[in-house]
Chain A
Amino acid sequence: DTAVSQTPKYLVTQMGNDKSIKCEQNLGHDTMYWYKQDSKKFLKIMFSYNNKELIINETVPNRFSPKSPDKAHLNLHINSLELGDSAVYFCASSQDLRLPHGYTFGSGTRLTVV
């Protein structure tokens, strides 16, 4: 049983295209996140949702739009893809944003924009 699953695992696309990454967690967690990891392994938070409500919205281009249809799903849609969007995107979840619980991460989506 995969706890946090992301699809697709790899995504290669041309500049200017629009793409989506899906994330689902079966842990019953209340909070979900999107992180971007660059080639130097630096992790930057992008968004966080708590029970379908947007809680954290870091300085991210508005070409990136998260959607949470229910608390088990958090999808990421990216419009007009640019070369600099190439990275690994990780979805994560935690039991409650207000408590000191660890995160459970998905295995990542490697996005390559050509």
Chain B
Amino acid sequence: GNSVTQMEGPVTLSEEAFLTINCTYTATGYPSLFWYVQYPGEGLQLLLKATKADDKGSNKGFEATYRKETTSFHLEKGSVQVSDSAVYFCAPRHSGGYQKVTFGTGTKLQVIP
């Protein structure tokens, strides 16, 4: 079946530190890959996406590259800010038919000044 594994949180970083949140998935076919962010008290927002192998999605300084060979889509940011504190969800959208999304368990990021 389809599944996604994210690193467990919380991840606590100082401002301007480098961020990596790991995400790996299992799927039949070639899913499209998404990262969503949920700020406290809000709904999820689409952060970035990649739809085919070697594509890089980017937004607000965050990046993730679709790695077909390792079935991974790790989220990175070079210098985090306090305002990046949120929960981040990796979400493959599986190909074929009605493309069901599998959300990861979420990784909470806390950035301290």
Q: Which residue numbers of A lie inside 8 Å of B, CB to CB?
A: 4, 40-43, 45, 48, 50, 55-56, 90, 92, 97-100, 102-108
Report A51 CB to chain B, min CB distance, Å.
Answer: 12
| B87 and A102 form a contact (CB under 8 A) | no
The answer to whether residues A100 and B105 also contact, given A90-B43, A108-B42, A108-B43 and a CB cut-off of 8 A, is no
In the complex, 11 of the A-B residue pairs with CB atoms within 8 angstroms, ordered by the A residue number, are A41-B87, A41-B105, A43-B44, A43-B89, A90-B43, A100-B93, A102-B36, A103-B36, A104-B46, A105-B44, A107-B43
Give the residue among A42, A97, A102, A104 with the most B Cβ atoms within 10 A. A102
Report B38 CB to chain A, min CB distance, Å.
Answer: 7
Complex CA distance for A98 and B89, rounded to whole angstroms: 21
- For B24, what are the chain A residues with a Cβ–Cβ distance below 8 Å? none
Report B19 CB to chain A, min CB distance, Å.
Answer: 18
Question: Chain B 66-91, CB within 8 Å of chain A: the 1/0 string?
Answer: 00000000000000000000010100
Select from chain A the residue with minimum beta-carbon distance to B9. Answer: A41
Complex CA distance for A44 and B98, rounded to whole angstroms: 17
- For B45, what are the chain A residues with a Cβ–Cβ distance below 8 Å? 105
| A98 and B98 form a contact (CB under 8 A) | yes
Complex CA distance for A40 and B87, rounded to whole angstroms: 11
| A107 and B46 form a contact (CB under 8 A) | no
| B42 and A103 form a contact (CB under 8 A) | no
For this complex, into which size category does the number of interface residues on chain B fall?
Answer: 20 to 34
Q: Pick the residue among A45, A55, A56, A90 that contacts B44 (CB under 8 A).
A: A90
| A43 and B103 form a contact (CB under 8 A) | yes
| A41 and B99 form a contact (CB under 8 A) | no
**Additional A-B contacts beyond A100-B95, A102-B46, A105-B43 (4; CB < 8 A):** A42-B105, A97-B98, A100-B51, A105-B45
Report A100 CB to chain B, min CB distance, Å.
Answer: 3
Complex CA distance for A99 and B97, rounded to whole angstroms: 9
- For A106, what are the chain B residues with a Cβ–Cβ distance below 8 Å? 43
Report A113 CB to chain B, min CB distance, Å.
Answer: 20
Residues from 24 to 49 in B contacting A, C-beta threshold 8 Å: 32, 34, 36, 38, 42-46, 49
